[in-house]
């Protein structure tokens, strides 16, 4: 990443709005931390306040004053000498930040440790007791989602769980004595585990054969379908909303909650609150509603290829099943 690119990226991160709430996107039955492009969840408080983004500019005249005694006639030459000198001997206020994961490829919902280190460029002296922001790529934007504090060695660590391939970076905002800096972005790839599927020809095996091995980091619909699949085999219980049992709308509400989307409780309310989509335009992650618009009786999560994940009825468990009728409605939550 070139210096101009890093500065441009730093400005985008600095100017992006701070999230008031960071969405947790893994199943939280264990209370573990989860993260992705939709929301890298972390709850690490840091000291308040930010240093100015813009470093203090040094004019040619000022450089001439230091190197050439302030002579007006020697300003240009002295500035060139001063610039060369600063390139040869880096400004002690310049800093460098790095962020490194302990693994570049992990399974979904597996823990990964990111180690951040901040030093003074040139001398290698640690930048101690300073706030470092963790920013995650969220489409074309970067979102700050955690704040760390460097220790006496200039190091800070954060452990999190990822559901999808995630790109992130570390930002040091600078102080009155130290210039701000931005780490090169790092990406952790999340790959689906290789599972031994049912016999060839079954519904699940046909879908598995066409499923990507890497969970897309850019598709919220794919994340919804993946989270829905994690509840496979749990029993249907009327009125239950998880985590050990579900009715149809409780199941949908629970899955979406993992992505920071808070849906109403009943299937009818969920239909009323959704954006209504034509059948032909449905995408994985959309909701399939049964009954009539004013009397929704059942709901499922569209998985693609004409199938959906659903909590069907008493005596059965959450499973992947075909959309069993042509009479249904489609809803979407952005």
Of 3.20.20.80, 3.90.1720.10, 1.10.3720.10, 3.50.50.60, the CATH number of 203-332 is: 3.90.1720.10
The pLDDT tens digits of the residues spanning 37-95 come to: 333 333 333 333 332 222 223 322 222 222 223 333 333 344 444 555 544 555 668 99
| In this structure, CATH architecture of domain 3-53+93-190 | Sandwich (2.60)
pLDDT at 144: 85
In the chain, where does the domain assigned CATH 3.90.1720.10 lie? 203-332
User: How far is residue 105's CA from residue 20's CA, in Å, rounded to a whole number?
Assistant: 30
pLDDT at 259: 82
Average pLDDT on 123-151 reads 88
Most confident residue range from 137-141, 145-149, 290-294: 290-294
The pLDDT tens digits of the residues spanning 253-301 come to: 999 988 888 899 999 999 999 999 999 999 999 999 999 999 999 999 9
- What's this model's pTM, rounded to 2 decimal places? 0.45
Average pLDDT on 230-243 reads 94
pLDDT at 327: 96
DSSP 42-84: ------S----SSPPP--HHHHHHHHHTT-STTHHHHHHHHHH
User: How far is residue 169's CA from residue 16's CA, in Å, rounded to a whole number?
Assistant: 14
The pLDDT tens digits of the residues spanning 98-130 come to: 999 999 998 877 889 999 999 998 889 999 999
In the chain, where does the domain assigned CATH 2.60.40.10 lie? 3-53+93-190
More confident residue, 56 or 199: 199
In degrees, rounded to 5, the angle at the alpha carbon of residue 7 between the alpha carbons of residues 60 and 104 is: 145
Q: Would you place residue 334 in the very low, low, confident or very high pLDDT band (cuts 50, 70, 90)?
A: confident
pLDDT at 278: 94
pLDDT at 166: 84
Instruction: Centre a 10 Å sphere on the Cβ of residue 88 and count the other Cβ atoms it contains.
Output: 7
More confident residue, 240 or 60: 240
pLDDT at 194: 47
Write out the two tokens for 76. 């240009």
What is the overall mean pLDDT for the chain? 73
User: How far is residue 102's CA from residue 112's CA, in Å, rounded to a whole number?
Assistant: 6
User: How far is residue 278's CA from residue 289's CA, in Å, rounded to a whole number?
Assistant: 12
């Amino acid at each position: 990443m070139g210096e101009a690119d890093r500065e441009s990226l730093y400005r985008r991160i600095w100017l992006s709005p701070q999230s008031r709430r960071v969405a947790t996107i893994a199943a939280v039955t264990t209370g573990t931390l989860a993260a992705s492009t939709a929301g890298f969840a972390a709850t690490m408080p840091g000291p308040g306040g930010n240093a100015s983004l813009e470093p203090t500019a040094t004019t040619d005249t000022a450089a001439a004053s230091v190197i050439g005694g302030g002579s007006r006639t020697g300003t240009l030459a002295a500035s060139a000498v001063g610039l060369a000198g600063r390139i040869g001997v880096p400004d002690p206020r310049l800093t460098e930040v790095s962020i490194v994961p302990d693994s570049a490829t992990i399974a979904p919902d597996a823990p990964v440790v990111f180690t951040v280190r901040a030093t003074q460029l040139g001398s290698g002296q640690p930048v101690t007791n300073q706030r470092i922001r963790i920013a995650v790529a969220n489409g074309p934007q970067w979102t700050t989602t955690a704040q760390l504090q460097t220790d006496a060695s200039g190091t800070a660590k954060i452990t999190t769980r990822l559901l999808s391939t995630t790109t992130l970076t570390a930002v040091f905002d600078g102080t009155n004595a130290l210039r701000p800096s931005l780490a090169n972005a790092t990406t952790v790839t999340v790959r689906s585990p290789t599972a031994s599927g049912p016999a060839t020809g079954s519904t699940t095996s046909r879908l598995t054969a066409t499923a990507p091995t890497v969970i897309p980091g850019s598709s919220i619909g794919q994340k919804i379908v993946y989270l829905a699949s994690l509840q496979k085999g749990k029993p249907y219980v009327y009125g239950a909303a998880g985590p050990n049992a579900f009715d149809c709308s409780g199941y949908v509400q629970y899955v979406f909650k993992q992505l920071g989307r808070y849906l109403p409780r009943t299937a009818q309310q969920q239909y009323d609150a959704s954006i209504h989509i034509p059948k032909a335009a449905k995408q994985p992650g959309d909701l399939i509603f049964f009954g009539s618009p004013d009397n929704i009786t059942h709901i499922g999560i569209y998985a693609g290829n004409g199938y959906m994940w659903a909590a069907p009825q008493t005596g059965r468990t959450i499973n992947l099943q075909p959309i069993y009728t042509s009479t249904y409605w489609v809803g979407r939550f952005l």
